[in-house]
Amino acid sequence: MIAGIVPCYLKSHSQGEYVFDRGWADAYERAGGRYYPKLQASVPFTPATGPRLLIRDGVDREQIAAALASGLVALCGVTKASSVHVTFAREAESRSLAVHGFLQRTDQQFHWHNHGYGCFEDFLSSLNSRHRKAIRRERRDALADHGITIHALNGSDITEDAWDAFFAFYMETGSRKWGRPYLTRTFFSLIGESMARDVLLVMAKRQGRWIAGAINFIGSDTLFGRNWGAIEHHPFLHFEVCYYQAIDFAIQRGLKTVEAGAQGEHKIARGYLPQTTYSAHYIADPDLRRAISDYLKRERAYVAEAARELTDAAPFRKPVDEPS
């Protein structure tokens, strides 16, 4: 009987991971080391937290977790990998791996939480007056005088024409921000064929053509916001397509959370709060491990302090706020 398993990949690059270690790779290779291949335990292209140590119910979890950690270290040696990276793990898994020599790394994403809102206006009523008015203005200005319409596509509503347009948006944003987009046009058709009911494609149209869009994946209680792109740029359109439409959809579907991904402190003013994410890293070379360990101590302190400051800046009403 299999008691536990860790799916992982032997990789020759660091694309599609969202926990960035290219700086580690560059430093190690400048010093004469070979960072790739490396072992990666994650869901490809998906910065969503979930179980990484898959352990059967009814067994001693600590014992099996220890065996899986030892197995990952052994596999690192057998494959001559430089390292093992368990990313977007649950906090308990990350701490368990730390006991067995894995370095802990934290980062933050921005999540919106549904507190039983019946409609978007209910959500707005939970904000202080300044932010409430700002969001109403942004939603109005994103569409006013531009002839822009918003279309929330799901299931069979997502046509190949929409995928063609969205892929163009993805390539434009990816080429500008990352240098080399890694998802292919075929990828989008495949998810359209296999899981269209679990996809929300929010698209903006002007003068009969698609001009911007954002892709989201629908989970059991969470909407996962992912890529965005545009071929025309209008004030506040990004906020409407990526954030406000996602909130609208989550409220309509009764979803508990919208995960808007990492980066972008501007999300705080739109009701998305910082959420700590966890990863664990085994580095085979002791000198590289020592250098990365020192760096991660400073990084964790920075992430924790940033989260405190951003949470304090949240736009939600305090008891003394007056309604408007």
- pLDDT tens string 203-253: 999 999 999 999 999 999 999 998 899 999 899 999 999 999 999 999 999
Q: Is 33 helix (H, G, I), strand (E, B) or coil?
A: coil
**22 within 8 A of 14, measured Cβ to Cβ:** yes
Band of pLDDT at residue 319, cut at 50, 70 and 90: low
Band of pLDDT at residue 273, cut at 50, 70 and 90: very high
- Residue 229's contacts (CB-CB under 8 Å, 6 or more residues apart) are 166, 168, 169, 170, 171, 172, 173, 174, 212, 213
Helix (H) or strand (E) holding 293, with range, is helix 286-312
Helix (H) or strand (E) holding 89, with range, is strand 83-89
Helix (H) or strand (E) holding 161, with range, is helix 160-177
Q: Is the pLDDT of residue 178 over 60?
A: no
DSSP code of 243?
Answer: I
- pLDDT tens string 12-25: 999 888 899 999 99
What is the spatial distance between Cα 16 and Cα 187, in angstroms, rounded to a whole number? Answer: 14
Band of pLDDT at residue 45, cut at 50, 70 and 90: confident
Percentage, residues of the chain above pLDDT 70 = 96
Strand bridging mode 9-11 / 38-41:
antiparallel
DSSP letters for 53-82: SEE-TTS-HHHHHHHHHHHHHHHHHHTT-S
- Residue 2's contacts (CB-CB under 8 Å, 6 or more residues apart) are 56
Phi/psi zone of residue 264: left (φ > 0), alpha (ψ -120 to 50 degrees), beta? Answer: left
Domains and CATH numbers, the chain: 4-108+276-312 (3.40.630), 115-255 (3.40.630.30)
Q: Supply the pLDDT for residue 299.
A: 97
Strand order in 209-218's β-sheet?
A: 9-11, 38-41, 83-89, 273-283, 103-113, 257-262, 222-230, 209-218, 199-206, 148-154
